[in-house]
Amino acid sequence: MQLSDAELGSILLALPLGQLITMPISGRSTATYGSRRMLTIGAPLYALALIVLGTATAGWQLAVFLLLFGISGNLCNIALNTQGVSGEKFYGKPIMTSFHGAWSMGGFSGALLGLLMINLHLQPLIHFGIVAVLSWSQILINYRYLLKNPTSQASSKSARLFTKPQGILIQLGIIGFCSMATEGAMFDWSGVYFKDIVKAPHALIILGYTSFMIMMATGRFLGDKVIAYYGRKRLLQVSGMVISTGMFLSVCFPFIVPATLGFMLVGIGVSGIVPMVYSIAGANTKVPAGIAIAMVSGVSYFGFLMGPPLIGYISALSSLRYSYAVIGCFGLLISLLVAKVRAIR
């Protein structure tokens, strides 16, 4: 669509905005009707919204369809994370990072499938249609395995649509904000960074995103065992430092090898932060899990909302390298915030 960095950054606001505005509704609905029912309704709509996204031919259309895509996606997001919290209670051990690891594998698979579709010169509508059919098929097969009673019905009935957030939930949300801003930078701008800053060959432009997703998935599949051994607090602090190290490495040495290594470190760093934050929030005994996760997600998703456009605006004023340097500071902020939150263990 021949969009500038600033225009693309503005349009990318639409997706997390759609997720954000439906956060209270998703949390309340999950608490009231249960995450199983919400997923069986929301997941097919999510796949349908993807097909609609493939019909965009102008920037304004892309923004509108991204907004709808974000709305439908958030109907699934809160319910699915609530299922993860219930799964941890069911098994009596950390499993949330593995749940998010499966999501990361989806992102990695999507990157490879996207590369294949580009090389086959297929239009986005065909590409997204194939993905939607695959999604509907797996939903039909797997919905029967969802937990039937993932929330406390007694507490859910008494919960309000807008509940005053607890201090710990706001703190967890800010930690999630820093992590999601970093993830947004990698999801939306890693390809541009490798193209314009690293000057990677066309065939290797996707290398940064792919290496990030592989390490994020790896870190999430290994994260549950690490959490059980070291605890969430220590792992969160180390994760923040790893994020900053990786981001600054790619900024200071914008060449294929060091930039790829830097993106791999960032992937490892962010891998466990959001799952751990959701687990801590969902275990809160004073607020239903779905609403607690929605509160934390509401703050966290401002990272997705602000991160990508912030990078676009800073890049338009100076350079994409400066944008990534700013994002690198978020890792240091995570470590400092975790050290001050006593409730995290």
Q: Residue 92: pLDDT band by 50, 70, 90 thresholds?
A: confident
- pLDDT for 163 equals 54
CATH number at residue 127: 1.20.1250.20
Tell me which range, 220-229, 234-243, 304-313, is most confidently predicted by mean pLDDT. 234-243
Q: Is residue 240 a part of any domain in this protein? A: yes
pLDDT digits (tens, 9 = 90+) for 137-186: 999 998 888 887 644 444 444 445 445 556 788 899 999 999 999 998 88
Average pLDDT over residues 26-35: 86
* Residues with Cβ within 8 Å of residue 211, at least 6 apart in sequence: 260, 263, 264, 267
Looking at residue 272, what DSSP letter applies? Answer: T
3-state secondary structure of 128: helix
Q: Is residue 232 a part of any domain in this protein? A: yes
Q: What are the C-alpha distances in Å from 300 to residues 46, 135, 184?
A: 21, 26, 11
Q: How many domains does the chain have?
A: 1
Share of residues in the chain with pLDDT > 70 (%):
94
Average pLDDT, the chain: 86
Q: Is residue 89 a part of any domain in this protein? A: yes
Q: Is residue 207 a part of any domain in this protein? A: yes
Residue 288 token pair:
């239903």
* Residues with Cβ within 8 Å of residue 35, at least 6 apart in sequence: 78, 79, 80, 82, 83, 86, 146, 147, 150, 151, 290
Q: Is the pLDDT of residue 236 over 60?
A: yes
- pLDDT for 147 equals 85
Q: Is residue 109 a part of any domain in this protein? A: yes
Closest CA to 240 of 182, 281, 282: 182
Q: Is the pLDDT of residue 5 over 80?
A: no
Spatial contact of 329 and 251, defined as CB atoms under 8 Å apart? no
Closest CA to 27 of 130, 129, 145, 163: 163
Average pLDDT over residues 56-67: 91
Spatial contact of 64 and 14, defined as CB atoms under 8 Å apart? yes
Integer Cα distance of 189 and 5 in angstroms: 10
Is pTM beyond 0.85? Reply is: no
Closest CA to 273 of 176, 207, 184, 182: 176
Sign of CA dihedral 202, 104, 309, 262: negative
Q: Is residue 11 a part of any domain in this protein? A: yes
What proportions of the chain, in percent to the nearest 5, are helix, strand and coil? 80, 0, 20
* Residues with Cβ within 8 Å of residue 312, at least 6 apart in sequence: 5, 6, 8, 9, 10, 12, 189, 323
Closest CA to 217 of 259, 272, 293: 272
Boundaries of domain holding 118: 5-146+159-340
Q: Is residue 152 a part of any domain in this protein? A: no
pLDDT digits (tens, 9 = 90+) for 72-89: 998 888 889 888 888 888
Strands of 209-261 (E only): list them: none
Q: What are the C-alpha distances in Å from 135 to residues 6, 72, 141, 252?
A: 32, 14, 10, 40
Q: Residue 90: pLDDT band by 50, 70, 90 thresholds?
A: confident
- pLDDT for 155 equals 47
pLDDT digits (tens, 9 = 90+) for 32-60: 888 888 999 999 999 999 999 999 988 89
Q: Is residue 46 a part of any domain in this protein? A: yes
